[in-house]
Amino acid sequence: MAERRRDVMSNLNSLTWHAGWATAVQRPSTGFHKNWAEEGFADQTVRQVVRVTGSGTAARIKLSNRYGTAPLEVAGATIARTDAGAVVRGGTVRRLTFGGAASVRIPAGGEVHSDAAEVAVAAFESLTVSLYFARPTGPATFHAQAFATAYRAMGEQLTAADPAVFSETTVSWYHLAAVELADGSPARRDTVVLFGDSITDGFSSTIDGNRRYPDALAERLAAAGTPRPVLNLGIGGNLLLNDSPWFGERAVGRFRRDVLGQPGVRSVVVLVGLNDIGFSEVDLPTYKPDPDISVAELIAGYRELIGMAHSAGVRITGGTIMPFKGSEYHTPAAEAKRREVNDWIRTSGEFDAVADFAAALADPADTDALAPGYDSGDRKHPSDDGYRVMATAIDLAAL
């Protein structure tokens, strides 16, 4: 029996891995939503829910301690299928190992993959990943604006079937950076990465509804008979040209890791620059750094992304910056920059394709503003319907 188990594990760990789900990690901060990042965890289990856009018969996870200042000890981990939230589907819970061990120590700044686990999952199914932290972790590397519920329980609850033990919730992900899938097929280049700021991240979309524009694009690809993994590597508040203690490493700095480092990446859609334009128009503590960024500087940043993508053989689509009249960012100077940037994106020919989100979501009666039906209410982030329309603005053939 032990020999058969070793054979099974050897076969699983020799599989070729494909994209299933991923997120961009950030340094700990309080952000705009209650979260547990700064306090970390101690003798607690965190159960997190992700929806995959790939499929497979085996899975593994990637854990990140990128912004940790000390080694992170993960005392145990499980993966399971779920139909709703913290509830695990009977018979699907799998204990994860790391190099054959039930626990793992991740150095400060490091990341680690688990071993493979046998779990069959179809595209658009949800998985729970449960992590037990026996000892105090210190502040946690995380993703702030998940718009998906994470659950916390006291003690070791890795296989708990009763969701009631998870009595605390937030809408962030912690230490979990990716779920990769395998199905026995060889390597392929078909992954689409959507990259940018809060609009890519899905700010104001329905919590647990999977109504972000990357979700809508994955569903559209599947409906067209060309299903492909679609990964959301947006970070709310992200800037093209400057690092932020609240909103992550600048886009030009994280692009190589967060986009080009994904399994099988073939195409990326970029939507970023709104915050570079808008932060300097508002004096808020979280909107720092806030230098007055010129259009020429923004174009230089886009060219840097284009160059990195093309050097890796990856197609890159540029998304136009959407209307934001009525938001706290909007001034005549900011609007002039948006129009000039969008003109360059549409006409320069430097991107492989253009997704004209601005035209798709603009109010016909005032094209400097979002159409009322596509506005979440803050005049700059789309509603669920707006995110769906964004997905239709992408030329599938360009991917």
Of 87, 273, 120, 264, the closest CA to residue 178 belongs to 264
* Strand ranges for 2-116 from DSSP E: 18-22, 44-51, 56-64, 72-74, 76-82, 94-95, 104-106, 111-113
The pLDDT value recorded for residue 276 is: 98
Joined together, the tokens standing for residue 38 give 């700064």
- CATH class of domain segment(s) 188-398: alpha beta
- Local confidence band at 2 (pLDDT 50, 70, 90 cut-offs): very low
Say yes or no to pLDDT of 35 above 90. yes
CA distance 83 to 343: 45
Of 207, 142, 202, the closest CA to residue 176 belongs to 142
Looking at residue 278, its amino acid is G
Q: For 164-182, what is the mean pLDDT?
A: 97
Dump pLDDT digits (tens) for 55-80: 999 999 999 999 999 999 999 999 99
% of the chain with per-residue pLDDT over 70 = 96
CA distance 266 to 291: 34
Answer yes or no: are the C-beta atoms of 88 and 129 closer than 8 Å.
no
Q: Whole-number mean pLDDT of the chain?
A: 95
Looking at residue 127, its amino acid is L
The pLDDT value recorded for residue 7 is: 44
Of 211, 214, 210, the closest CA to residue 259 belongs to 214
Higher pLDDT, 13 or 336: 336
Say yes or no to pLDDT of 398 above 50. yes
Answer yes or no: are the C-beta atoms of 213 and 193 closer than 8 Å.
no
H or E segment to which residue 77 belongs: strand 76-82
Q: How far apart are the first and last CA of the chain?
A: 47
H or E segment to which residue 44 belongs: strand 44-51
Say yes or no to pLDDT of 259 above 70. yes
Dump pLDDT digits (tens) for 89-142: 999 999 999 999 999 999 999 999 999 999 999 999 999 999 999 999 999 999
Q: What are the distances in angstroms from CA 21 to CA 12, 59, 127, 129?
A: 19, 11, 10, 12
Q: Which residue has the tokens 């964004």?
A: 390
The pLDDT value recorded for residue 5 is: 43
Answer yes or no: are the C-beta atoms of 4 and 40 closer than 8 Å.
no
Dump pLDDT digits (tens) for 333-372: 999 999 999 999 999 999 999 999 999 999 999 999 999 9
Q: What are the distances in angstroms from CA 236 to CA 121, 320, 342?
A: 29, 17, 21
Say yes or no to pLDDT of 9 above 60. no
The pLDDT value recorded for residue 100 is: 98
- Local confidence band at 13 (pLDDT 50, 70, 90 cut-offs): low
Say yes or no to pLDDT of 3 above 50. no
CA distance 181 to 9: 15
The pLDDT value recorded for residue 14 is: 77
CA distance 239 to 307: 18
The third-level CATH classification (topology) of the domain covering 9-181 is Jelly Rolls (2.60.120)
Bin 6: left if φ > 0, else alpha if -120 < ψ < 50, else beta.
alpha
Joined together, the tokens standing for residue 170 give 């937030």
Rg (CA), the chain: 21
Of 5, 16, 8, the closest CA to residue 180 belongs to 16
Joined together, the tokens standing for residue 176 give 């979990």
Domain ranges for the chain, please list them.
9-181, 188-398
CA distance 115 to 112: 10
N residues, the chain: 399
The pLDDT value recorded for residue 84 is: 87
260: β partners? none
Say yes or no to pLDDT of 8 above 90. no
Say yes or no to pLDDT of 263 above 60. yes
